[in-house]
Amino acid sequence: MHDACRARGLMERIAIEDIYPAVDCGRWPVKRIVGDTLEVWSDIFRDGHDVLGAALLYRRADKTCWRSAPMHHFDNDRWVGQVVLEEVGRHVYTIEAWTDRFASWRADTMKKRAAGDNIATDLVEGVDLVRSALARANAEDRAVIERLLGEYAVDDAKPSAGALLSEPLAEMMARTPVRADVTRCAQEFQIVVDRPIARFGAWYEMFPRSQGRLPGQSATFDDCITRLPAIAALGFDVVYLPPIHPIGRINRKGRDNSVTSTSSDPGSPYAIGAAEGGHDAVHPELGGIEGFRRFVAAARAHGLEVALDFAVQAAPDHPWVKSHPEWFLFRRDGTIKYAENPPKKYQDIVNLEMAGPSHEPLWQALSDVILHWIAEGVHIFRVDNPHTKPLPFWEWLIREVQDRHPGTIFLAEAFTRPKPMRALAKAGFTQSYTYFTWRTGKEELTDYALELAYGPASDYLRPNFFTNTPDILSPYLQTGGRPAFIVRLTLAATLSPTYGIYNGFELCEAAAVPGTEDYLHSEKYEFKVWDWDRAGHIRDWIAGINRIRRDNPAMHRIETLRFHHANDDHVLCYSKATPDRGNVVLVAVNLDPFATREAELRLSLDELGIGSEETVTLVEPLTGAEQRWRGAVQRVRLDPSINPVAIYVLRR
């Protein structure tokens, strides 16, 4: 809510308060999707009993002409206005209010007439108000007003109460109000309107160099192209690539993050930059820029967007270290300082001095990197560790890029504290990684999902539920076997409109470095050859879940999420529904990957749009089976080896 929009002058009598939506009193933009209806609320009032009018004003941020939508009195001086957001990009909105002289006159005059008072003089005053409105009305309204007055034979000498107090005339005058005490909120509020994929989409992460068939050898983008039909068949929307740039040779890491490497070790792709180029180059072994262009074109042909990793760091032999040493931090002995997050050490990576004396040309160079890849057809960027860089940089960079290329999406990989995570979303990040990876219990999943769906950050922080990452193989997945992977996939894909998996998830890859969340023999440090047909895979399950997501509009938003009571602490039950309840999806999940659970569900029938005595048909889209339910209390049996989750679509 926002309290700062009071009248600006001592004699301005209208107060405009508590504007919603507004993030930090309008300091940061709210986020919506093109096609959404922006609903704005405010408390608007003045002294006395005069009738007020109000309008929601909105425009593109790069335009000067305001468009207007009427606001309507809701209750207790609360007003609401709506506008459909038709363009991707940055917009602004504010509120204007006024005293409606004709509506005030009409209200008072009707009260006098009802009391039996002589209203002859009042009617003459009403004619004056109508005449003043005629001069400002458009041609269509002016013709209608004149016709209405003519029908009642209104003239200045003997005006007709029937004409002046009629509902049709009141409606016309509301469109051309006689305004006094006009007050506009001094604050303009920002809104970023994004593409639909900013809110709803499924991401697939893969290392390009590990998509081939020859052990110990880098795959190329042409090998990656052969993988695209399978990824598209699984129902993904975005294929996301870790850094594809030349990899530094100085302090190159070996297998399993060893500080020593051999000539056959490819190094970590996050050690960006070598003699072959930096952030705007493609590793030659992947096929160079021409190979990348073929890959982007092929992905597009399969209905996939390509997302690139944007890691603001460098290898010690990145070209910038020589050409711009002022962008880096050197120790007193003249050596360059490598990256650390004690006790972790990254000897193959050096950080950039983002707030140093030469930060302005550095920031511009990084912006140029993003613009370079946009020119190559990339419009989605996953940003590595943004919480370790200054917030003003991200605010500047994202605004700079999106002003030129509206619809560019930035995903914040910020596994950090809640407030810095929210601050990054405010600064402009389109989406954010979340704590979902570590939320495994019923209560913590419920609380966290509700916080994301309805909490204060819901107007600007969009969650992306990744099940796993190259750095995170959770204990739940390490120990829970195939059922754990099915459970986590279902939760990620049905709780959040946007989710992602890192390749190997579909194979239930669970080998970890003992006592850690790190993958054993991680492909961050070596070439891998995957057997995509390995026994125990869950490809069919993934394809089915993604098909359910696409086919059911209820799954496309998080604010439709509702939880229902289940009398077992290991069974989570929830639903999503479209506003008209025309599409309803119900999900029950056994969070225990080791034991069968039976639970009594107590459904909130009102939330599902079901009458208490109504019999409904529920279809299980994964199997085609149907059930008929009646009443709020139902039972489910969830066996991890057969059906660890149950998904139902309500058939009307």
Q: What is the dihedral sign for C-alpha 329, 332, 333, 338?
A: negative
Q: Which two tokens stand for residue 573?
A: 């039950």
Task: Tell me the CA distances in angstroms from 305 to 231, 390, 415, one per residue in order.
Answer: 12, 29, 24
pLDDT grade for 344, boundaries at 50, 70 and 90: confident
Determine the pLDDT at residue 151: 55
- The per-residue pLDDT for range 598-639, each reduced to its tens digit, is 999 999 999 999 999 999 999 999 999 999 999 999 999 999
Determine the pLDDT at residue 139: 85
Query: Within 10 A of 456 (CB to CB), how many other CB atoms are there?
Result: 10
Query: Would you list the domain boundaries of the chain?
Result: 14-193, 204-244+282-312+354-551, 559-651
Check if 204-244+282-312+354-551 and 559-651 are the same fold. no
* Partner residues linked to 588 by β-bridges: 573, 646
pLDDT grade for 504, boundaries at 50, 70 and 90: very high
Determine the pLDDT at residue 11: 60
Determine the pLDDT at residue 130: 87
CATH code of the domain occupying 204-244+282-312+354-551: 3.20.20.80
Show Cβ contacts of residue 121 under 8 Å, excluding neighbours closer than 6 positions: none
H/E stretch holding 282: none
Determine the pLDDT at residue 7: 41
Determine the pLDDT at residue 1: 46
- The per-residue pLDDT for range 417-426, each reduced to its tens digit, is 999 999 999 9
CB of 409 closer than 8 Å to CB of 382 = no
* Partner residues linked to 352 by β-bridges: 328
Determine the pLDDT at residue 629: 96
Question: Average pLDDT for residues 330-349, to the nearest whole number?
Answer: 90
Task: Pick 54 or 139 by higher pLDDT.
Answer: 54
Determine the pLDDT at residue 147: 76
Q: HEC states along 361-414? A: HHHHHHHHHHHHHHHCCCCEEEEECHHHCCHHHHHHHHHHHHHHCCCCEEEEEC
Residue 152 predicted with pLDDT over 70: no
Q: Which two tokens stand for residue 316?
A: 């010690």
Show Cβ contacts of residue 243 under 8 Å, excluding neighbours closer than 6 positions: 269, 270, 272, 308, 309, 311
Reduced to 3 states (helix: H, G, I; strand: E, B; else coil), residue 559 is: coil
What is the percent of the chain where pLDDT is above 70?
A: 97
Q: Which CATH class for the 14-193 domain? A: mainly beta
- The per-residue pLDDT for range 438-482, each reduced to its tens digit, is 999 999 999 999 999 999 999 999 999 999 999 999 999 999 999
Determine the pLDDT at residue 340: 87
* Residue 69, Cβ density class (10 Å: 0-12 exposed, 13-18 middle, ≥19 buried): middle
Show Cβ contacts of residue 341 under 8 Å, excluding neighbours closer than 6 positions: none
Q: Which two tokens stand for residue 261?
A: 């490497």
Query: Within 10 A of 273 (CB to CB), how many other CB atoms are there?
Result: 26
Residue 302 predicted with pLDDT over 80: yes
Determine the pLDDT at residue 124: 85
Determine the pLDDT at residue 6: 47
631: left (phi over 0), alpha (psi -120 to 50) or beta: left
Show Cβ contacts of residue 452 under 8 Å, excluding neighbours closer than 6 positions: 434, 458, 461, 463, 496, 558
Query: What CA–CA distance (Å, rounded) separates 327 from 322?
Result: 10
Report CA Rg, the chain: 30
Per annotation, catalytic residue among 122, 348, 384, 592: 384
Average pLDDT, the chain: 94
384 annotated active-site: yes
Per annotation, catalytic residue among 50, 265, 305, 413: 413
- The per-residue pLDDT for range 89-142, each reduced to its tens digit, is 999 999 999 999 999 999 999 999 999 999 989 988 888 888 888 878 888 888
Q: Which two tokens stand for residue 309?
A: 């990793």
| DSSP codes, 53-73 | EEEEEEEETT----EEEEEEE
CATH architecture for residues 559-651: Sandwich (2.60)
Question: Average pLDDT for residues 383-392, to the nearest whole number?
Answer: 97
Query: What CA–CA distance (Å, rounded) separates 609 from 554?
Result: 13
Q: What single-letter DSSP state applies at residue 200?
A: S
H/E stretch holding 45: strand 37-46
Phi/psi of residue 93, nearest 5 degrees? -145, 155
Question: Average pLDDT for residues 205-210, to the nearest whole number?
Answer: 98
Residue 155 predicted with pLDDT over 70: no
